[in-house]
Amino acid sequence: MEIKRLLIKLQHFGRTWLLFLIIFLRHSDAYDYYRRNPSPIPRFLPVPMNITVHVGETAHLRCRIHNLGPKF
């Protein structure tokens, strides 16, 4: 009876270990990709700070960003 319980515990341990290993390797792949292919930090580019519009007109506020990266 003890041997049967021990075998069940070993099977459970093996499944748990395998699941942990799969998750770890999956996370490691993603981490390695971003470590090998770093993307620069986005930053705002200079734009005019003062604008003038008449009441009732649409004001267009410009915003430019450098290194925006891919859009998902």
Residue pLDDT, tens place only, 11-26: 777 778 777 777 776 6
Cβ-count burial 8-20 (b if 16+ within 10 Å, e if not): eeeeeeeeeeeee
Q: Report pTM.
A: 0.37
- Cα(55)–Cα(30) distance, integer angstroms: 52
Q: pLDDT: is 62 or 29 the higher one? A: 62
Whole-Å CA distances, 10 to 3, 27, 64:
10, 26, 59
Band the pLDDT of 58: cuts 50, 70, 90: very high
- Cα(17)–Cα(10) distance, integer angstroms: 10
